[in-house]
């Protein structure tokens, strides 16, 4: 395994004390996340307005595509799921 591979040996809830800590980790390592998932990062923004919501992270890729990342620790709910629907209302090219 090389240094560009992400491996979690514990549940994220044990590694990050809060969703804010998880968002900070993801933003700090977004280029590594991109390498592992196959996208090249152009720009990263936090707390981006997506319709009536705010998405934790929006990544603009070098190919122009957008990736919405909504960090969540714990049970799923509509607040989180609504932000990452296939076509989030109100999200346009950044």
Write b or e for each residue in 38-47: b if 16 or more Cβ atoms lie within 10 A of its Cβ, otherwise e: ebebeebeee
Average pLDDT of the residues in 61-77:
82
Mean pLDDT over each residue of the chain, to the nearest integer: 76
**Gap between the Cα atoms of 17 and 22, Å rounded:** 8
Query: DSSP state, 4?
Result: T
**Gap between the Cα atoms of 81 and 42, Å rounded:** 25
pLDDT tier, 27 (very low <50, low <70, confident <90, very high otherwise): very high
Report the Cα 15 to chain-centroid distance in Å. Answer: 16
Give residue limits of the domains in the chain.
12-83
pLDDT tier, 81 (very low <50, low <70, confident <90, very high otherwise): low
Average pLDDT of the residues in 9-17:
77
Backbone angle region of 75, left / alpha / beta, with phi > 0 → left and psi within -120 to 50 → alpha: beta
């Amino acid at each position: 395994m090389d240094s560009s591979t992400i491996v979690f040996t514990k549940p994220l809830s044990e590694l990050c004390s809060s969703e804010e800590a998880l968002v900070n980790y993801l933003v700090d390592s977004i280029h590594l996340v991109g390498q592992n998932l196959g996208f090249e990062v152009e720009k990263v923004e936090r707390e981006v307005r997506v319709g009536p919501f705010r998405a934790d992270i929006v990544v603009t890729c070098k190919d122009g595509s957008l990736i919405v990342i909504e960090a969540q620790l714990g049970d799923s709910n509509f607040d989180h799921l609504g932000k990452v629907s296939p076509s989030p209302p109100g999200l346009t090219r950044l």
